[in-house]
Chain A
Amino acid sequence: MSERVAVRKTYKLFIGGKFPRSESGRSYLVQSSNVSLASRKDARDAVVAARAAVKGWAGATAYNRGQILYRVAEMLEGRREQFVALGVPGDEVDAAIDRWVWYAGWSDKLPQVYGGANPVAGPYFNLSAPEPTGVVAVVAPETPALLGLVSVIAPAIVTGNTVVVAASPAQPLAAVTLAEVLATSDLPGGVVNILTGRLAETVPTLAAHMDVNAIDLTGVTDAELAADLEVKAAQNLKRVLRPAQADHDWTADPGITRMTTLLETKTVWHPKGV
């Protein structure tokens, strides 16, 4: 009996809930696999998918979003060994799952913590509530491959945004595997879109895209590129999360700024009368 020949996995992009190859037909060899090399057009398609998903996802109840995110954590837990097999340390996988659970619980709490009634000096009901900003482009940190990725995706989507994520070019397999988790977790297609490949190719397109509302530059380590992306983002006044400091501690309590930067506060007034 000869040894069984393994079935290898093809690592593809994740756009609109589907796993297409790059429209450019290109791939690059990384982590011993051929991974799709996303093009500018793939970035554009991902934005279209993300925009299409905003209405349903932002319009879902906070409870529903919380349930779906928690479902993602359940699926992650089941795939723990798969991530370990990709070289992600076991405790990083655990931390990533715990972080996902932490964010899942925020869905129906952040609006209470970050909004509320304002005691205006007049006969008015006045309420401030946060709303998702819309489509967020995210540059995932190069490392830690899974915890870093989870720590930028979950805070963006838990409040109702949809994202286009540029995965770590050097460690994209965790991102594609996470996409497989997301695809089997009731998360509507298009809420998370993941591009693999070279940042310099996709991210400037996202930063300049006029139908993207915010950009998270966390994973950009090249200061010049970061500044250039911020300049591009200014064209339609995207909300910007600047690059993480080099010594950022991904295991620390992340706080809520990552969520609140990607929110808009809407304040509604109404007179009180009979």
Chain B
Amino acid sequence: MFEYAPAPESRSVVDIKTSYGLFVDGEFADPADGGTFKSINPASEEVLAEVAEAGAQDVDRAVRAARQAYEKVWGPMPGRDRAKYLFRIARIIQERSRELAVLESLDNGKPIKESRDVDLPLVAAHFFYYAGWADKLPHAGFGPDPKPLGVAAQVIPWNFPLLMLAWKIAPALAAGNTVVLKPAETTPLTALLFAEICQQAELPAGVVNIVTGAGETGRALVEHPGVDKVAFTGSTEVGRAIARSVAGTRKKLTLELGGKAANIVFDDAPVDQAVEGIVNGIFFNQGHVCCAGSRLLVQESVADRVLESLKRRMAQLRVGDPLDKNTDIGAINSAAQLERIRELSDAGSAEGAERWSPPCELPERGFWFAPTIFTGVTQAHRVAREEIFGPVLSVLTFRTPAEAVEKANNTPYGLSAGIWTDKGSRILWMADRLRAGVVWANTFNKFDPTSPFGGYKESGYGREGGRHGLEGYLNV
């Protein structure tokens, strides 16, 4: 046997403070009512830091600071200068990427190899990409002189804390808006380190404001009458509530919500790569991915063989310490999320689906869930309909391409889909019919700053990334 010795990434590269204030108007400040909450490491339940909880008064102050910066500094600033600030930020992120990656893994629980090789490179690339747009907006296809909206309220989830921050802040700033961003309550730390990066880049005060807190803080922010734009990534349930709350206003809204993507494997698929794609589709980031391929639709004629390969491959997944460089699956982000995954998985078993996980030892402390598949799942099972947002795959079968399309589309969601086949014309036929904003053919879970991302139906509206991503931050 070839046992890999522990290969922990050193956490000494990051200096976590014992407490963090709110980042408003270029400075860290205590919240008006002094409320705080704790951010913990989900892999050990160790408290990492105390973080300020922003109340309505703090949110108001942040929105005012953003307004002031928009009117006095950022709005009037020539695009080429806004670009240079964004380029600076991109560079600092590259320079401090190890520090950011370690902090992300500590606060979120995701494996260091993902924060290091996926999240951080994409974060820097995103700022780099949108930096270049700041002085080219008249050429972006939104008219000769597209205007920013003003102050953007941005609320982001805990699954890709820094990447979602980049997806929100980079296009907003490039288009000339200022922002107030609320990171998720379980993962505020990289956003606060990003605030320090803004200081290091000498970004004018008030252009970026970070208010930490839970749902109430987010509500105060999106409902604040002083914001012109609301951008939210998170659950469909909260997205719905936000859509209601902006009704009757002139706030522009983009929503990137849940998903229940079908990953469709045909009998002529490149099977070894398809299995990798299935694994990457559902176990990447512990399955905490809105576009996760959480429903495997496999053609009946190859179902046994694909499942056998999949199980063999799953047995190789290394679950454990997120900071170990060889860890494939880290910790579930929170006790609450773990509870939800358990509840839905138990429902899967109760409804008669067959549950399987490879033998795998889970650490005693922290929040963990073994990679799991359910076979014998039908469209009626809860595990086939509800977003689990965890490392749990539901396996269904189909017989014909038309049936695959019908089952794939038979959901209120429409964020992403996967197709695995060696037949080119079939890929295009399928891609035309799948009601999903991103279709990965013979690959899965690929992201790029130039590539628009966003959903159909209840997966939200608006696109992030690419030229399309500017539209949500321009008055068009």
Contact = CB atoms under 8 A, between A and B. Distances in A.
Q: Give yes or no for direct A-B contact (beta carbon below 8 Å).
A: yes
A234 B240 contact: yes
Interface string A210-237: 0001000000000110111011011111
Main secondary structure of the interface of A (DSSP, over half): mixed
B441 A270 contact: yes
B381 interface: no
A266 B460 contact: no
Given A118-B451, A268-B441, 13 more contacts: A121-B450, A126-B448, A233-B243, A234-B244, A237-B236, A237-B239, A265-B437, A265-B468, A266-B436, A269-B439, A269-B446, A269-B451, A271-B443
Contact of B476 (A235, A255, A271): A255
Interface stretch (B104-112, B200-208, B247-255): B247-255
A25 interface: no
A230 B242 CA distance: 11
A267 B468 CA distance: 11
A128 interface: yes
* Most chain B CB within a 10 A radius of its CB, from A124, A242, A265: A265
B453 A237 contact: no
Interface of B: 125, 141, 143, 236, 239-241, 243-244, 246-248, 250, 255, 257, 412, 414, 427, 431, 434-443, 446, 448, 450-454, 456-458, 460-461, 463, 466, 468, 471, 476
Contacts of B446: 120, 122, 124, 269
B386 to A, nearest CB: 16
A267 B255 contact: no
A265 B457 contact: no
A52 to B, nearest CB: 16
A72 B441 CA distance: 39
Contacts of A236: 412, 457-458
Contacts of A224: 248
A133 interface: yes
Given A122-B446, A266-B431, A269-B439, A234 B243 contact: yes
Contacts of B439: 266-269
A85 B436 CA distance: 47
Contacts of A271: 442-443
A266 B243 CA distance: 22
A128 B247 contact: no
Nearest to B455: A264
A218 to B, nearest CB: 14
A237 to B, nearest CB: 5
A267 B244 contact: no
Interface of A: 113-114, 118-122, 124, 126, 128, 133, 213, 223-224, 226-228, 230-231, 233-237, 239, 242, 255, 257, 260, 264-271
A237 B438 contact: no
15 contacts: A114-B141, A118-B466, A120-B446, A120-B450, A124-B446, A227-B248, A230-B248, A236-B458, A237-B461, A266-B456, A267-B439, A267-B452, A268-B439, A268-B441, A269-B438
A133 B457 CA distance: 8
A8 B451 CA distance: 57
A180 B247 CA distance: 35
B141 A231 contact: no
Contacts of A128: 451-452, 466, 468
B476 A269 contact: no
Contacts of A239: 461
* Most chain B CB within a 10 A radius of its CB, from A128, A227, A230, A268: A268
Contacts of B471: 260
Nearest to A123: B443
Contacts of B141: 113-114
Contacts of A234: 240-241, 243-244, 247
A268 B248 CA distance: 35
Contact of B443 (A114, A242, A270): A270
A123 B456 CA distance: 26
Contacts of B466: 118, 128
A255 B437 contact: no
B125 A124 contact: no
A267 B434 CA distance: 11
A97 to B, nearest CB: 25
Nearest to A264: B456
Nearest to A126: B451
A118 B466 CA distance: 7
Contact of A267 (B412, B438, B476): B438
* Most chain A CB within a 10 A radius of its CB, from B236, B437, B456: B456
A265 B125 CA distance: 22
Contacts of A264: 414, 435, 437, 456
